[in-house]
Amino acid sequence: MKISTTRFGDINIDESRVIRMKRGMLGFEHLKKYVLLTQDGETPFWWFQSVEDGSVAFVLINPFAIDPEYEPVISDVEAQSLEVASSEDVVLFSVVTIHSDPFTVTANLRAPIMINAKKMLAEQIVLVDPDYPVRHTITENSVALEAQEKADSIPSVSAP
Amino acid sequence: MLILTRKLGETIRIGNEIKITILDANRTQIKVGIDAPPAITVHREEVYRMIRDQNVMAAEAGHDDSVGQSLSHVWNRLKKSKEDCE
């Protein structure tokens, strides 16, 4: 299938690469289908591109890469809603925001996106733990560039 | 909206499993206790609003041209500081 995106132009994706959300992202509940895009394989950033609205895309980062002590508690109910059979299938991402003035990059550690890579189901989960900030500043020293491998297990598409 | 008046210590039930009890009240604040099964997540409204607002800002990446540049910029700085450490 072909999708038209503002950022990447027209991209061809296989239907099997579409990630489905039951609830959708908070504030974007009408959008339920996304595709995970990688960029040149080298940056720690991923793109979560809406299939239904080409102008909507989120930048994602592996939260464990920016906070090695990140320990989100995911309830059984959330896991069940994503039909998780094994924790091996679960990959977490944080939504990144780029602020221009002053220039900062933050990641949302309070509401990670949980993806079941096997079933291609995803949900944004609001953690009960209030200590995880919605805006966690990413600094040069805070990114572990190695902590990437697991995210590579999700079928994604190379961004043009 | 259903509006009920309750006294201190009194409870409202929602369905069979959710209980909301008024624990304390003064002129500006009310303290409520919530009993709900683990399947029900309970958050302050502000948390949702904060996350929704953050998502709306983050989604601009899909159509804001400066984001790609910013990301490369951040990435280069990250790589550089990494190299400097080694």
Among A143-157, B17-31, B55-69, name the one with the lowest average pLDDT.
A143-157
Residue of A42, A56, A139 to mutate when probing chain B, most B C-beta within 10 A: A56
Given an 8 Å threshold on Cβ–Cβ distance, is A59 in contact with B61?
yes
Residue B6 inside a domain? The answer is no
- Percentage, residues of chain A above pLDDT 70: 88
Is any Cβ of chain A less than 8 angstroms from the Cβ of B50?
Answer: yes
| CA dist., res. A46 & res. A13, Å (int) | 16
Task: Determine contact, residues A109/A70, Cβ cutoff 8 Å.
Answer: yes
| 3-class DSSP string for A81-141 | HCCCCCHHHEEEEEEEEEECCCCEEEEEEEEEEEEECCCCEEEECCCCCCCCCCCEECCHH
CATH class entry, domain A2-158: mainly beta
Q: Could you read off the pLDDT of A76-87 as tens digits, one per residue?
A: 888 888 999 988
pLDDT of residue A145: 57
DSSP assignment letter at B27: S
Residue B31 inside a domain? The answer is yes
Residue B54 inside a domain? The answer is yes
Residue of chain A whose alpha carbon sits nearest to that of B43? A128
Residue of B66, B67, B80 to mutate when probing chain A, most A C-beta within 10 A: B67
* CB-CB neighbors (< 8 A) of B81 in chain A: 140-141
Residue B33 inside a domain? The answer is yes
Domain containing residue B54: 11-85
Q: Could you read off the pLDDT of A135-155 as tens digits, one per residue?
A: 999 876 666 655 555 566 666
Q: Could you read off the pLDDT of A101-124 as tens digits, one per residue?
A: 778 889 999 999 999 999 999 999
B34 conformational bin, left if phi > 0, alpha if psi -120 to 50, beta if neither: beta
Å from A37 to nearest chain B CA?
12
Helix (H) or strand (E) holding B80: helix B66-85
Residue B4 inside a domain? The answer is no
Residue B29 inside a domain? The answer is yes
Q: How many domains does chain B divide into?
A: 1
Q: Binning pLDDT at 50, 70 and 90, where does residue B10 land?
A: very high
Mean of pLDDT over chain B: 87
pLDDT over 80 (residue B83): no
pLDDT of residue B32: 96
pLDDT of residue B48: 93
Instruction: Give domain limits for chain A.
Output: 2-158
ipTM for this model: 0.88
Cβ burial, residue A76 (10 Å; 0-12/13-18/19+): exposed
pTM equals 0.84
DSSP string computed for A42-86? TSSEEEEEESS-TT-EEEEE-HHHH-TT------HHHHHHTT-S-
